[in-house]
Structure formats: C-alpha cells, structure tokens
Structure 1
C-alpha cells in the first residue's frame, strides 16, 4: 500500500482558470518509490465555479464545495478530507516544477526530527517569465526552531515563502490547521510551525508562484490598514502562546 502526500488547494473564481496548469504540474511529478499523491480541491463558497471535467474525473482528485469562509477555512476543510501522512500546500494559480514533491518527501524521510519543509520560489510573471522571489532566504538545510519567527517580528514578512510548505500531518493536527484569516493564513501557519518544530529549506526552486491581478495578495488591504494590523496581531498572539507553552513544558 502506497504512502500518501496530500496536496490541499483552495479555489475561488479568480483562480479557477489556472487550475489546469496546477493539475498538469502535479501529474508530471515523480515521487520516491512507495509514494503516491492525492489532491484535495476545495471550492470556497462559489457554486458557479466549474472545476474542469478532466480534473474531477481523475481518481487522485477529490473536489468539494463549501460555504464561503476564505482561504484559511478552505485549506482546513481540504485537509480535513485528506488521507496522507504529509500535507503539501498548492494554491490553485501556482505550479510545481519538476522534482518538487520528490525533494519534500526525501527530506522528511531522511530527517525524522524535521517537521516541515519550504523551498526556493520563483515568481511566474504574466508574460510567462520566471523571476527570483527575493526576501531574506536562509542557507539551505536546517531551519532551527524560532529562526523564522524572529525575522518576522522585525519585518512582518516571512523569510521564506509559505506557499511552498510541506508538513507532517500530525504536526498540522496539533496546530489545528489554518487560522480563519482573510489573508496571511499561510504565514500564520508557517510562524506556528517554526516555533514548535525545526524545518528545512530546500535550495532548489520548488514552486512557481503566479503573479496576477486577481490574487489575494493584490488586494489593497493586504499590506496596510486596520485589517493588516489585526492579522499581524492574531499571528503574533498565537505564535507567542505556542512558543510559551513549549518553553514551559
């Protein structure tokens, strides 16, 4: 019986047109011996979104519709239906390059103490070109617990791209999935993971992050204003509480 990596993908109307490219990138993945993948596609509250028939018909794919709750709720609902021992994040408008899943699985098989992985990301521009995603990328290899949160506290930006996460399912269950935020729910998860378990940064690019006007990060409230402040506050409160609980255990 194969071991499973579960890919969770929230879908809303602005991104459904990119879903076929994400699917093609999944089908092209080669996994280590004994592994297979499942794709949990969660449509977020829009009954008019039509998932292409060739995707819905694939036995690896499980499509579901739910009440609108935002990306964090959609991701958590997708995870709730999963069967895998690893959970991989993939947004509907993004693409996995060759070898991405293989590298995630290989790291987590080789390093039992590592709870999650992230990787180098390339921005996929509207003209099809790839550009390097620049933040404060760390050295390849082990990410010691708390390292990324310390960086985030001073910048309110993640050092690595949270859209590239692959996580041990039991660790995700401990945290309780994604926060119910209108955005930054992936950063919130990354910060929580960072303070409770070591991670690993994979130097090879493992995600092509599509840039387009309909993405959540293009919203005017994403990087400022009252909503931004509340999101940052929620991330900080949960992460501080997790770090304190672990320190006092």
Structure 2
C-alpha cells in the first residue's frame, strides 16, 4: 500500500483558471515507488466558478465551504488529509519537477525535521522568472532563526511560506493556518520555526505567480493599520510558542 503526501490548495473564483497549470505540475512529480500524492482542492466559498476548472482525476478531491480566506480553506481541508505530510500549493502557483521528492527526502531522512521549504522563483506575467538574492544555505534551518530574521528585516522571512511541506501531526498541533485575512502562511511558518527545526532546499521548488488578481497584490494587503495588527499577532504567537520550550517532533527517550 502506498504512503501519501497530501497537497492542499485553497482556491477562489479569480484564481480557478490557474488550477490546470498547478495540476500539470503535480502530474509531473516523480515520487519514490512507495509514495503517491493526493490533491485536496478547497474553495473559499460556494460559487459555481471553481468546479469547472477542477481536474477529473480520482487523486483529486474538491470541496467547498463558507468563505473565510485561504487559511480557513486550507485548515478545513486538513480534516481529509490522510497522509503523514501536508504540502501547500496555492492555486495560482506551480511546483517544479522533483519538488515533492525533495521534501520527502528531507522529512523522511531526519525525524527531527518538522517542516521543509525550498527556493521560490517569481513567475512573471511574460513567463520569465526571478529569484531572491538572500536565500539561506541549503540544509537545516535551526529553531528561531526564521523568526529572528523576520523581526530584523522588516517582517520579511528568509524562506517562503508558500513552499511549506509539514508533518501533519505538527501542523494540526499548531492549529493549521492562522485565522488572519492575510499573512496566515507567514504566521504558520514562524510558529513552526518556534518549535521545530526545518529544512531549506536551494533547488527551486515553486514558481510563485505574479499577476494582477493575486490577493497579496491588493491594496487591503498593504493597509498600514491592518498589516501592523497582523504582524503583531503573528510575532506574539511565535514568541509565546518559543517561550513554552516545546520541541517538535518530541525528543525520543
């Protein structure tokens, strides 16, 4: 029987047409022989705009729910995540070849690693890509280093939360994604880094699409008052978790 890596995607009407490209990037993944992927597509709402774009594939499950933002949609999808690892894939993004296999190698290779990330490349409207100049070194990401970097660099994390692959038990223990209108994935990343070592793959694992309809490009996303409040609660949660001195996965013995 195959073991499963669960890919979770939150989607709303404007991003639904990109699902075909996300699906193609999933189908191109080559996994170890005893592994398979399942894709949970969760609509943030109950419109009739998304379903026509969901692939007809037994490995793909589509559900809808009350609107609450991408974090709520992803967290609701966790109820159906029946594998040991959960990979996030935004509806408008694409995995690069080998991304899932590299995540599995990191997490299966070291039980003390709770989560894995990778280099992300911006996918620009003209089809070209652009990287980031300050990616960390390939290898383990020690506890608190992401939080410290984020706090010291204008709330910019050194690794991209849209590339996360997480042990399901750890993800559930932290409550899934934060109940925020935005930055819910950054909140999860900092919480993970507060309690667990991670991994960064220097090989690009995600093409992060830049387009006019993406939620992070809207004016509300950069509203000063809201952003200040989001960053405050994200940091407070991460530092509270760090203060508990809880380590995950738990030490043996």
TM-score of the superposition, structure 2-length normalised? 0.94
The answer on whether the counterparts of 1:90 and 1:163 sit within 8 Å (CA) in structure 2 is yes
- Residue 58 of structure 2 is aligned to residue 59 of structure 1: yes
CA distance in 2, matches of 1:246, 1:52: 47
Report the counterpart of residue 227 of structure 2 in structure 1.
228
User: Per the alignment, in what secondary structure is the counterpart of residue 241 of structure 1?
Assistant: helix
Given that 2:20 and 2:53 are in contact with CA atoms closer than 8 Å, whether structure 1 keeps it comes out as no
Deviation at 1:223, TM superposition (A): 3.1
**Residue aligning to 1:49:** 49
User: 2: distance between equivalents of 1:247 and 1:210?
Assistant: 35
Residues 247 and 44 of structure 1: CA distance in aligned 2, closer, same or farther (over 3 Å): closer
Structure 1 segment 167-178 matched on structure 2, within 5 A: 167-178=166-177
Tell me the equivalent position of 1:182: 181
Distance verdict in 2 for CA 1:52–1:25, change over 3 Å: farther
Question: Do 2:118 and 2:204's aligned partners in 1 also have CA atoms closer than 8 Å?
Answer: yes
8 Å CA contact 1:32, 1:106 repeated in 2 = no
* Partner residue, 1:147: 145
Contact 1:120/1:160, CA 8 A, preserved across alignment:
yes
Matched-pair contact (CA < 8 Å) for 2:16–2:91: yes
- Residue by residue over 1:73-129, the C-alpha shift from the partner in whole angstroms, topping out at 9 and shown as x without a partner, is 011011221111000010000000110001000111111110000001111111111
| SS, match of residue 15 in structure 1 | helix
Question: CA 1:33–1:223 in 2, change beyond 3 Å: closer, same or farther?
Answer: same
Equivalent residue for 1:245?
244
User: In 2, distance between residues paired with 1:247 and 1:47?
Assistant: 41
- What residue in structure 1 maps to residue 251 of structure 2? none
Matches within 5 A, 1:1-249: 1-52=1-52, 55=55, 57-134=56-133, 136-154=134-152, 155-246=154-245
Q: Distance in 1 between matches of 2:223 and 2:66?
A: 27
Cα distance between partner residues in 2 of 1:229 and 1:124: 28
Q: State how far apart, in whole Å, the 2-side matches of 1:24 and 1:62 are.
A: 16
Aligned-pair distance for 1:48?
A: 2.2
What do the CA deviations read for 1:178-236 (whole angstroms, capped 9, x no partner)?
Answer: 11111111100000000100001101000000000111110113234111011101101
Give aligned pairs, total: 247
Change (3 A) 1:208 1:242: same
Cα distance, 1:68 vs structure 2:
0.4
Provide the C-alpha distance between the structure 1 equivalents of 2:119 and 2:46, rounded to a whole number of angstroms.
32
| Structure 2 unmatched ranges of 5 or more | 248-253
Contact kept, 8 Å, 1:13 with 1:46, in 2: the verdict is: no
The answer for unaligned runs of 5 or more in structure 1 is: none
